[in-house]
A and B are shown apart, each in its own frame.
Chain A
Amino acid sequence: MLPRRTFLSTSAWALASAFAPQAWADGELTQLGSRPQELATPIAQFDKLITPTPVFFVRSHFGPPALDVNRKLAIDGLVKTPLTLSVEDLRAFPEVTVTAVLQCAGNGRGLMVPRVPGLQWDNGAMGQAAWTGVRLKDVLAKAGVVAGAAHVRLAGADLPPKPTVPAFVRSIPLARALDPSTLLAYRMNGEPLPHAHGGPLRLVAPGWAGDHWVKWLTALRVQKDEAEGFYMQTAYRFPVTPGPPGAPVPPDQMRPLSALPVKSLIASPADGAKVPTGPQEVVGVAFSGAAPIASVEVSVDGGTRFARAALEGEPGVGRWQVFRYRFVQASAAKIVAVARAIDARGNEQPEQAVWNPSGYFWNAWHRVAWEVG
């Protein structure tokens, strides 16, 4: 009889292989959508601290608006002085660069069982970039936030396809807006922010899911209440308490999602690869929206024994580090590697992800199998 671990990992491999037997040439992305563009980063790219901009995943609800580098940002609501600022005007504020993970809340949706509607991402809706811009708190200080303010409503220039489709409007709590890592960003990996990624200006909220990182940003409103509308009141919500997979969750048992749960992902070897006998290396990335990564553990026996991997890069909230685990496999074998991360607050990456009706925040232990010999 097979030990339980072996059985679990074998079936997980079969599932993963059936879902995404994907092969990429250099410089390619996976195209989950053409209109609007919905592009996934190949998993092999997650072996480095910075995801190259050309292969950085692309996702939006309605596609980019017309390219207009002169779009202005209006700031109003509960402020002493409403402002209208161009990207040029923002250069009056101190410039800051933050390296952070951008991950779509729905990354891994396609791995949920039972399946749920939406873009069927497997692992490619994430990336890490160096984001350059100005601190939102500096801009809000200039506008002068007045008493009673508690939320900042964010809207971009991308219009829904019909007036009957809800506009993509989000809000963040004022405390999140005033966090020194929250930026109005106009550069990505040192280049002007590309149109596909929200240029000329987007919000950057390190540690929080991508739905907060509003692209083509044109309107900030400081207000008392959370923003209204479908994308706050219905979408981007997560069950307060995990329920059985497939079971409906009452709306009053859902809360807005925010910080990314702790996660690690193996970039290499690729699932199903063939590797010669001798030195083997498991490489990937790990991050958490709650705290820096404390450790990443790797198993190469399907999840029975784990050992600590080496970490590279600067630790930070919502910033990924590369992990690397080396071992020698002298004889032919099938290896099943499993990675799991723990953050500095003690949050552990779970063996199973929490199933939820919209398929957000997949972060189960990642398993990869390859043949040695």
Chain B
Amino acid sequence: MIRRVASALTLVSLVACHAKPEGGAPSSTADAGTVAAPSSASLAVDGEKLVKDDCLSCHAEEMLRQQRLTSAQWAKVVTKMTTWGSPVEPENTSPLVAYLASHYGPDAGAYMAATIAAETAAAQIAPEDDGPYVSGDATRGRATFVSTCSACHGIDARGRLGVNLVDRAILYRAGDVAAMVREGRGRMAPLRGVTDAQIADVIAYLRGLRGA
């Protein structure tokens, strides 16, 4: 019972993260606590959703796809990641482990990594021109951050349910920030209605924060 309450509270805070998501309530996020149905088809669908919700805020998917681990190894990994802040609900731990072990087990076959041109890789982390996100107002940005972002990212922006936003290279790639905010990532629902000016303001605020 206590677990259910904790789960419900998590969902409340998730909904609270985004004041006005386009198209009403973020239903895909609110479904996260659904008990897994026993059929293998629904296990697969739920597994993908669990991976998205509980792994992909911090990891890119290829980190999972390249693993070849037994069920026992996956269980240890999921336990470690839960300790480190993965929001996996207790009742979802076993289905998540089962999904990972069935897709990325020892017999999953060869993993073929992608290749990338060196210039492309360098460009992916290089600062970019601010474009439409130039001249943000840090004071307005702070207000927007507190009302819209801080429930998940922490009032200090150092990460909570969402990830740390302080001293990140991506803050100097405003277009990437805008794309991520509008497309969503992990448990973060897309914020399609956010304006360029709001993004510029929040970026201006976050750039002023320092880590140590």
Contact = CB atoms under 8 A, between A and B. Distances in A.
23 contacts: A22-B112, A22-B113, A22-B115, A23-B115, A29-B118, A30-B114, A31-B115, A31-B116, A32-B113, A33-B60, A33-B62, A40-B113, A54-B118, A58-B121, A65-B167, A66-B169, A67-B172, A115-B67, A116-B69, A119-B63, A161-B85, A162-B164, A163-B160
Contacts of A117: 67, 69, 73, 76-77
* B-side interface size class: 35 or more
Contacts, number: 144
B169 A63 contact: yes
Nearest to B162: A162
A21 B110 contact: yes
Interface string B183-210: 0000000000000000000000001000
A335 interface: no
A25 interface: yes
A19 interface: yes
A67 B113 contact: no
B31 interface: no
Interface residues of A, number: 50
A164 B85 contact: yes
A217 to B, nearest CB: 12
A165 B112 contact: no
Interface string B110-154: 111111111101101111000000000000000000000000001
Interface string A6-28: 00000000000011111111011
A344 B212 CA distance: 44
Interface in B56-107: 57-60, 62-63, 66-70, 73, 76-77, 83-85, 106
B67 A159 contact: no
A219 interface: yes
A34 interface: yes
A35 B66 contact: no
Interface in A312-360: none
A121 B67 CA distance: 11
A157 B164 CA distance: 13
Contacts of B158: 159, 162-163
Interface of A is mostly: loop
A31 B60 CA distance: 11
A28 B116 contact: yes
A55 interface: yes
B211 interface: yes
Contact of A161 (B106, B124, B163): B163
A39 interface: yes
Interface of A: 18-25, 27-35, 37, 39-40, 54-55, 58, 63-67, 110, 114-117, 119-120, 155, 157, 159-166, 194-196, 218-219
A66 B168 contact: yes
B106 A159 contact: no
B159 interface: yes
A25 B169 CA distance: 28
A155 B172 CA distance: 23
A31 B163 contact: no
B122 A165 contact: no
A195 B164 contact: no
B36 interface: no
B60 A35 contact: yes
B115 A120 contact: no
B106 A32 contact: no
Given A25-B115, A37-B121, A31 B62 contact: yes
A157 B154 CA distance: 19
B166 A28 contact: no
A65 B166 CA distance: 9
A73 B193 CA distance: 42
A127 to B, nearest CB: 13
Given A63-B169, A66-B167, A119-B66, A28 B60 contact: no
A39 B68 contact: no
Contacts of A157: 167, 211-212
Contacts of B163: 161-162
B171 interface: yes
Given A119-B63, A163-B158, A28 B167 contact: no
B102 to A, nearest CB: 16
A27 B122 CA distance: 12
Contacts of B110: 18-21
B183 to A, nearest CB: 13
A32 B66 CA distance: 8
B116 A115 contact: no
Contacts of A67: 126-127, 169, 172
